[in-house]
Structure formats: C-alpha cells, structure tokens
Amino acid sequence: MDKPLLEVKNLSKHFYSGRTVLKAVDDISFAIQKGETFGLVGESGCGKTTTGRAIIRLYRPSSGQIIFNGSSIEGKLNREQTRAVTRSMQMIFQDPVASLNPRMTVEEIVCEGAKINKIYANPRDLRQRMEAMLSMVGLTREHATRYPHEFSGGQRQRICIARALLTDPDLIIADEPISSLDVSIQAQVLNLLNDLRRELGLTILFIAHDLSVVKYFSERVAVMSRGRIVEMTESDKLYSNPIHPYTKSLLSAIPIPDPHVEKSRQRVSYDYDAHGYTESSQPAMREVAPGHFVMLSESELQRVSRGESL
C-alpha cells in the first residue's frame, strides 16, 4: 500500500480551565490514503471537530504527531512550510454563515486563499479559476459580485466548497458540512461532494454525527466517544458487524423510514461505566479482524474472540 497522505499518531488536545482538564481528544491514531474518504463520526462533544481543527493547525496539539505528505506539521513551521500546508489542506466548516465574511463579495471570499498563498501571478488566471470553481459547484459568474446574505444556506455552503477547491488541495476536511442545512438541501450538497470527489480524485476527512450519512459517503469509518476512537474499519463492515457497544448504540439511533418498523425499533443504550475498567485493565485499540480495530480491554478481547457480544 502506498504511503498515507495523512497520518495522525497518538494525537491529544487538552483544554485547561484552572485545575480542570478537558481531554477533548485523547491519544487517537489513524491514517488516510490518497483518494480515500475517511469518516469520523460520534455524538456532539466527542472531539471530532477538535481533531479536524488540530490537523489543519487551527489548534496546537497537546501531544502527538501529524504527518501530512510525508512531513510532520504539528510543530512550528516557517513561512514557506505554512504556505505549502495551507494550500494543500482546506476545510469546509460546519456553519456557512459564520465562515463567510459578510463584508466581502463571493469573488473576494473564494479568491482570498489563492491571493494569500500567491498561487496565481496573473489576476485574469485567478478570475478564470474562480469562475470555473463556481460553475463546478452549481453557481454562475454573476454570483461573484454578490454578498453572502443574498444566498440561501445551500448556496452559501457551495461557496465554501468553491473556496476550498480553488487552491487545488490534496486534502479537504469537511466538518459536518450539511448539519446546518435543510434535509432537502443536505442531499444536494452530499451529491455535489460525491461528484467532486470522483471527478477531482479528492481525499476527504468527513466529520459527521449521522452514521447513515457517513455510510453513504465514506469508505472507512472511525467512531469517536469521549475523545477516543472506539472502533475503526471499512464502512460496510462497521454496519454489518459492529462490535463496540457505543457503535451499536449509534446504529440503533438511526431512524428508519418505515412507520411499522420504526414503531418496534429498539434503541440500544450505552453506559461507559458498565465496562468496569480498572487501572490494570485499561482498553487499547486491538485488531479483531483484518482492518477492523476496536477499543477493548484484554478480557473484552477474549470475549469477542469467543464470539460473545459485549
């Protein structure tokens, strides 16, 4: 297998308030191959967004290593290194309203990253690239002179996608790009991202809390809980054979568009304390099948190997 485009090794991000320590991300590791769509899923507050922001250097990691395109990027970088990283890695934020400057036109917003990184020496080339990106996401050149408040939520998110694509990045971090949109618009944005992924060969870290969306969009999935990855495998394997109780709980919460089935659907609750972990039996990521990793203690691993349910 080729060298991964992105490697995250033992990444942690802690926030401090007096003597209180919040372990938003706690010792997680994963890798993303070039051209792959990797889903990061979990409930609100589990550390998904913090992970994405640490990777793109909006947060400084407390510990761990982030290797992008073969280079470690978690530490201090010089100007040229910073420019290379920001050009090759872009983020689509969760709230398109908050991530667009209301005082700037669409053209200024979309072109800002290219101007900062001095990608295009000729303004005409930059404008042609901008118009091509707008066309690619379903907007027109006439939209370039308008301001964000003149667009709907779905159109604003399309502007954010065009801005992310303009620098021709190697990796796009999509942080819940459809969670703030209407359901009908969510499908349009997802289909757009899917088409762009196939057409441009994009590598995407797709962050979401909806497992049904992640199944549709991602090839591999990592499930996060309390700042840690508890299960990671291929999308189909995760849905057909979930092992960690938290993953089973998330899957049981997916609504089914059939009133008869939905009426009898049983929710699976998850209680972290039910694991009964002690200082001597702390869990670790263990490979229970080829490419299928689960956060288990030694005793839980033995139960899984015997075919027992946790």
Considering the domain architecture, whether residues 80 and 214 belong to the same structural domain is answered as yes
Q: Is the pLDDT of residue 228 over 80?
A: yes
Least confident of 61-65, 90-94, 270-274: 270-274
Q: Give the helix/strand (H/E) hosting 4.
A: none
Residue 1 confidence class, pLDDT cut points 50, 70, 90: low
Which of these, 39, 10, 37, 40, lies nearest to 25 by C-alpha position? 10
Which has more confidence, 40 or 94? Answer: 40
- Shared domain for 275 and 193, answered yes or no, is no
Of 169, 195, 226, the domain-final residue: 226
Q: With bands split at pLDDT 50, 70 and 90, how would you rate the model's confidence at 212?
A: confident
In whole angstroms, give the CA distance from residue 105 to residue 130: 12
Tell me if 236 is assigned to some domain.
Answer: no
Contact 90, 169 (CB under 8 A): yes
List, in sequence order, every residue forming a beta bridge with 292; answer none if it has no partner. 289
pLDDT at 263 over 90: no
Question: What pLDDT sits at residue 254?
Answer: 81
- Please list the residues that pair with 221 across neighbouring strands: 39, 233
Q: Is residue 235 in some structural domain?
A: no
| Phi, psi values for residue 159, rounded to 5° | -60, -45
Are residues 91 and 150 located together in one domain of the fold? yes
Specify if 232 maps to a domain.
Answer: no
With respect to residue 233, please indicate whether it lies within any of the assigned structural domains: no
Model pLDDT for residues 232-251, shown as the tens digit of each residue: 999 999 998 999 999 999 88
Residue 62, pLDDT above cutoff 80: yes
CA distance 140 to 134: 6
Locate the DSSP E strands across the chain. 6-17, 20-32, 37-41, 63-68, 71-72, 89-92, 171-175, 203-208, 220-225, 228-234, 284-289, 292-296
Q: What is the DSSP letter of 129?
A: H
* Percentage, residues of the chain above pLDDT 90: 47
Q: Between 153-166 and 106-116, two packed helices, what is the crossing angle to 10 degrees?
A: 20
Residues 171 and 22 in one domain: yes
The answer to whether residues 261 and 120 belong to one domain is no
Q: What is the mean pLDDT of residues 103-118?
A: 90
Q: Is residue 143 included in any domain, yes or no?
A: yes
Q: Is the pLDDT of residue 83 over 80?
A: yes
**306 CB-contact burial (10 Å; exposed 0-12 / middle 13-18 / buried 19+):** exposed
If DSSP codes are grouped into helix, strand and coil, which group holds residue 244?
A: coil
Q: Higher-confidence residue: 267 or 15?
A: 15
Q: How far is CA 237 from CA 23, 40, 224, 242, 289, in A?
A: 29, 15, 17, 7, 10
Pairing of strands 20-32, 37-41: unpaired
Q: Report the amino acid identity of residue 89.
A: M
Mark whether 272 and 213 lie in a shared domain: no
Q: How far apart are CA 40 and CA 140, in angstroms?
A: 32
Same domain, 116 and 192: yes
Average pLDDT of the segment spanning 217-233? 93
Q: How far is it, in rounded angstroms, from Cα 210 to Cα 278? A: 31
- For residue 294, what are the domain limits? 243-310
Tokens 């550390």 correspond to: 47
Using one digit for the tens of pLDDT, what is the confidence trace for 190-203?
888 888 888 888 89
User: Is 220 in the same domain as 250?
Assistant: no
Same domain for 138 and 76: yes
Q: How confident is the model at residue 3 (pLDDT cuts 50, 70, 90)?
A: confident
Domain at 143, CATH number: 3.40.50.300
Q: Please tell me whether residues 148 and 178 are part of one structural domain.
A: yes
Same structural domain for residues 218 and 247? Answer: no
Q: Are residues 268 and 146 in the same domain?
A: no
How many folded domains does the chain comprise?
2
Residue 104 lies in a domain: yes
Of 22-31, 74-83, 287-296, give the lowest mean pLDDT range.
74-83
Most confident of 177-181, 191-195, 200-204, 290-294: 290-294
CB 233 within 8 A of CB 39: no
Domain termination site, one of 171, 193, 226: 226
Predicted confidence (pLDDT) per residue in 18-44, tens digit: 889 999 999 999 999 998 999 999 888
Average pLDDT over all residues of the chain: 89
Using alpha carbons, select from 184, 194, 207 the residue that is nearest to residue 42: 207
Distance from C-alpha of 53 to C-alpha of 73, rounded to nearest angstrom: 13
Whether 175 is covered by a domain: the verdict is: yes
Closest alpha carbon to 41 in 170, 193, 230, 305: 230
Among residues 193, 226, 259, the one where a domain terminates is 226
Write the DSSP symbol of residue 55. Answer: H
Q: Is 261 inside a domain boundary?
A: yes
